[in-house]
Structures are given as structure tokens and as C-alpha cells.
Amino acid sequence: MHSSLFFKLFPPPKLMVMKHAGLHISDEAVRCLEYDTCKGITTISKYGQVDIPAGLIDGGVMKDEKKVSDLLRDFDHAQDLSYVKVSVPEEKSYLFQTDVPSRDVRVAAQNIEFKLEDNVPLSASDMVFYFDLLPVSASTGSLRASVSVVQRAYVEHLMSLLREVGIYPMAFEVMPKAIARAIIPPKSSGAQMIVYVMARKTGIYIVSGGVVCFTSTIGWGSQVTASTEKVDTTVLTQEINRIYTYWDSHSVVDSAIEGILLVGRESLRFEEALRRSVADISLGVNIANVWQNALKLEDYVPTISHDDSLDYVVAAGLAMSL
């Protein structure tokens, strides 16, 4: 691991106190959001989005970089962005768990580095990684880490592209981690399943003790049922059931899944249908509060509507200082 690049891409928490916007570049849109704090009250100082033409970006792969660059440059001029924390799509990252010998960050990092090539189909020199420590297992007594890995070339290329249009990345973060930061209470000890609905796909993530432990993406999204009156969640429900069963029987984390948090595009349209379809595994389904950990709604009413906020969950998590 080359530490200088590591901290540039996944900086330690003390760098996150710098004012920055969250920048979420997805297959369907570019969204940004930035917070400001005055007299102890956190507010939303800017936000905005621009749609991306279908097919221009697919799973994080840019099909026409010139068009993407022009779009980002125009977006930067409209939003007046400076420093940003940027999302990395799940398709461009790897996630695995491993035992580590110590809570000491340097010791744990060195131990993980030796195991990278055993868990990820890349050479160690072509990876950057970040990890979170999980609570010590009561059943095994082992200390484990959840490790996120991204190809070095991908983040370096994205960094270069953004700088060319006048946007300056101060960090990159995998998308599920940003979502979890926004909607999972910081002292949560149990496991939650996050269902993040996008236009043409849906991410399903398990978070335990605030740490992302499992991720999966399926080709089902809000556009699948957009033209029909009946909401069909069959494909989504099958994947949820599969993941629930896997976690229940294979997880080394001592946390059963307590419920489903639904967020993302048109989540409200799927809430009731999903609640009915997963009733047999006794998981409650609730719409996530995107401002759970960033805003005190008794002090400040966001200018973004509740429906629209569900689309901003990644940018909202990226924009947070912690």
C-alpha cells in the first residue's frame, strides 16, 4: 500500500472537517449537496442535479468521456463546486471481511495488505483499500475488518477528469458506505438491510454496527415497473430472501437483520408492495430518513422535499464531516 495515495483517496477522518460537497456521479444523474453550520445549526447550503443521457455511463464506465466532461463542467459552473468527496459505484469496488490481529490501524492495515490478492482479482500494486473494524464476535472472540477495495487506475483516472473540469476531489468513497453514514444511527448495534433503488438497478446492502458488511446489485429498478399500474417486486423480493437466508446462516457477525431501510428513486411507490412481499421473513420495511445523522429537523426544515431527498442519499452521506 502506498500511504500517500491511500490517504489522498481515502483520507483519515481529520481531513473530513474541511468544507466540501458530496458529489454523486451515477449512471442516471450527477447530484451534489453541501452543508453549512451557523450558530450550531446545520443547514443545506447548496444542492442540485443534472440528468445523464441513458447509456452515457454504465456501471461507472464512461462511454463518451468528452460528453461526460462537458456535462460535469457545466454542472460545476452552475453549482460553483470547489472541494468534493466523490462516490465510487459498487460495480467498481470489492468488499470482503477478514480477521485482523489488532485494533491498531497500522498493524491492521499491514495485515490486510498481505491478504488482498487472496480476496480480490487484482495485483496488490493496482489496489487502494479502506477498512472498518467490526465489533468483536461474542461467539468466536475474533476481531474482523470489512475491507473496501478499488482499482487504483479507476480512481486516478476519475480524479484527473474532475480536475480538468475544475472540480477538486479531496476523497473518494464507495457508495454503500456513504449511504450508511447518512441513514444508519451512529450508535446502532444491530444489522440493517438497506435497499437502494435506482432507475435500472437496485443495491442491497447489509450494515452491522454501522459498518457495511455485504453488498449486492441486481438489474431491477424504478423504470422496470414505471409503465404499469401494479408494482411488481418479485425479483427484488427473491434477492432479499436469498441475502437474508445467507446472512442468517453464514454471517460471522453476531447480528440478526432487524429490518429494511428503503431509499432511492421512487421508494415511496414500492414501500407497501415490498412490505407485503417480505412479510414471511418478518422484516419491517421503512423509508429511510436521509437527514438522520446530518440535520436536526426540529431546528431546520430542508428546502429539498421528502420525496426528492431519497434521491440525494449518496450525496448527503458524502457531504457529512464524519
Q: Which residue has the higher pLDDT, 226 or 281?
A: 281
Instruction: Quote the mean pLDDT of the chain.
Output: 89
What's CA 203's distance to the chain center, in Å? 9
139 and 278 in one domain? no
Average pLDDT estimate for 181-195: 89
pLDDT tens per residue across span 196-238: 999 999 999 999 988 999 999 999 998 876 656 678 899 999 9
Cβ 148 vs Cβ 81: under 8 Å? no
Contact (Cβ atoms closer than 8 angstroms) between residue 260 and residue 299: no
Q: How many domains in the chain?
A: 2
Residues 313 and 184 in one domain: yes
- Kindly state the helix (H) or strand (E) to which residue 127 belongs, with its residue range: strand 127-133
20 and 33 belong to one structural domain: yes
Q: Which three cell numbers stand for residue 59?
A: 456501471
Same domain flag for 159 and 182: yes
> Can you give the pLDDT at residue 250?
77
- DSSP-derived pairing of the beta strands 83-88 and 168-174: parallel
Report the pLDDT averaged over residues 37-49: 94
Asked whether residue 86 falls in the same domain as residue 120, the answer is no
* Cβ partners under 8 Å of residue 148, min gap 6: 93, 94, 95, 129, 130, 131, 174, 177, 212
Contact status, residue 217 vs residue 202, Cβ threshold 8 Å = yes
Residues 236 and 264 in one domain: yes
Task: Answer yes or no: do 80 and 188 share one domain.
Answer: yes
Q: Answer yes or no: do 65 and 188 share one domain.
A: yes
The per-residue pLDDT for 249 is: 85
Least confident of 109-118, 185-194, 268-277: 185-194
Residue 19, domain CATH: 3.30.420.40
Distance, CA of 112 to CA of 98 (rounded, Å): 8
As a whole number of angstroms, the distance between CA 27 and CA 54 comes to: 8
Planar angle of CA 192, 43, 265, nearest 5 degrees:
45
What per-residue confidence (pLDDT) applies to 254? 66
> Last residue of a domain, which of 123, 149, 175?
149
Partner residues linked to 260 by β-bridges: 193, 285
- Higher local confidence (pLDDT), 130 or 1: 130
CB–CB of 207/184 below 8 Å? yes
Cell of 247: 446472512
User: Does residue 174 share a domain with residue 125?
Assistant: no
Which one-letter amino acid corresponds to residue 142?
S
**How far apart, in whole angstroms, are the C-alpha atoms of residue 56 and residue 148?**
26
User: pLDDT above 70 covers what percent of the chain?
Assistant: 90
| Predicted local distance difference test score (pLDDT) of residue 252 | 66
Distances, alpha carbon 26 to alpha carbons 9, 122, 172, 205, in Å = 19, 24, 14, 17
Identify the CA nearest to 51 among candidates 265, 204, 230: 265
Give the helix/strand (H/E) hosting 196.
Answer: strand 191-197
User: Within this chain, do residues 261 and 311 fall inside the same structural domain, yes or no?
Assistant: yes
CA-to-CA separations, 207 to 88, 119, 182, 204, in angstroms, rounded:
18, 20, 12, 10
Which residues form the domain of 109? 94-149
β-partners of residue 51 are 29
Residues 197 and 277 grouped into a single domain: yes
pTM attached to this predicted model:
0.91
Query: pLDDT tens digit string along 112-154?
Result: 999 999 999 999 899 999 999 987 765 566 788 999 999 999 9
Partner residues linked to 26 by β-bridges: none
The pLDDT score that the predictor gives to residue 2 is 37
Q: Which three cell numbers stand for residue 141?
A: 472472540
The answer for residues whose C-beta is within 8 angstroms of residue 318's C-beta and 6 or more apart is 21, 22, 23, 24, 33, 84, 85, 86, 87, 173, 178
- Selection from 144, 136, 59, 129 nearest residue 95 by Cα: 129
Domain end residue (candidates: 133, 149, 165): 149
> Per residue in 67-100, pLDDT tens?
999 999 999 999 999 899 999 999 999 999 999 9
Let me know whether 222 and 300 are in one domain: yes
